[in-house]
Amino acid sequence: MRFTHAIVRPPPTTFATGISRSGLGPPDLGLALEQHDAYCRILERLGLSLVRLASDPELPDSTFVEDAAIVTSAGAILTRPGAGSRAGEVATLGAALRLSFPELEEITAPGTVDGGDVCQAGEHFFIGVSERTNSEGAAQLARWLARLRFSSSVVDIRAMPRLLHLKTGLSWLGRRRLLAAGEVVDHEVLRGWESVRVPDGEGYAANCVRVNDALLLAEGFPGTGAMLAGLGYEVVPVAMSEFRKMDGGLSCLSVRW
Ligand code: CIR
């Protein structure tokens, strides 16, 4: 599927007060804004029209727009993020998405879902159950996906402490191929898929994004970059250092459709 649209939201002045367990120190806001701008320009160069939401200092993690909605070619659903401090992100995203998806649905209590736990691989979705996404949320999402004729399977990542979200360690590369970090690569749910393992020490690069003919990959992971280029992908490096400090990956900076 080719993407034509994306929603993005720059990091707010309070960005450094968001949730982080990375231990990498506070982000530099000026550099984060530059990196965000560069990310947006890459999406535009790849042909996407961007909806740019205004930054909101009340919501320090709101630049990670992907967690508040799941968008597919057939419909969209707002999530109920697992971190209470992120609940306020949903309304703004909803207002923007309703313009394109009037039938917008919503995950409801007691379900929780973070979009970072939802990995679309063509007609199939892998749904992570994590500290943020609970079984009830995963079940609600699976039922909604089934109505749209997508299949899904659940991956419990609660015993994989290095993964905040499923997509921290899993990305779709197109067709039947996935990029996976060591923790997930041998998981039984990936049977029947071709899993490409991220080289040791480059786990952060497992969160990449296929955007039309390009593959956006975090800058600074030469082993992964060379491996994916060798497989024929047009790898586009993206500077992510400041978002990584706040536990954010490449995919979470946009909602794409
Ligand atoms: C959080 O902990 O919620 C944010 N600081 C980072 C969220 C990153 N989201 C993602 O990778 N999908």
Q: Give the residue whose CA is nearest to atom 8 of ligand 1.
A: 248
In this prediction, the residues of the chain whose per-residue pLDDT falls under 50 are none
Q: Specify whether the CB–CB gap between 9 and 67 falls below 8 A.
A: no
Q: Which token pair is 209?
A: 């994004």
Identify the pLDDT of residue 8: 98
**Burial (CB count <10 Å: 0-12, 13-18, 19+), residue 125:** buried
Q: What is the per-residue pLDDT across 103-126, written as a single tens digit (0 to 9) for each?
A: 999 999 999 999 999 999 999 999
Identify the pLDDT of residue 1: 77
* Catalytic residue (one of 36, 165, 187, 208): 165
Report pTM.
0.97
Identify the pLDDT of residue 51: 98
Tally the domains of the chain: 1
Residues with a CB atom less than 6 Å from ligand 1: 18-20, 61, 64, 66-67, 83, 86, 116, 165, 246-249, 252
Residue 93's domain is classified under what CATH number? 3.75.10.10
Residue 85 belongs to what domain range? Answer: 5-256
Is residue 208 annotated as part of the catalytic site, yes or no? Answer: no
Q: Which token pair is 21?
A: 């367990």
CA of 247 to the centre of ligand 1 (A): 5
Is residue 252 annotated as part of the catalytic site, yes or no? Answer: yes
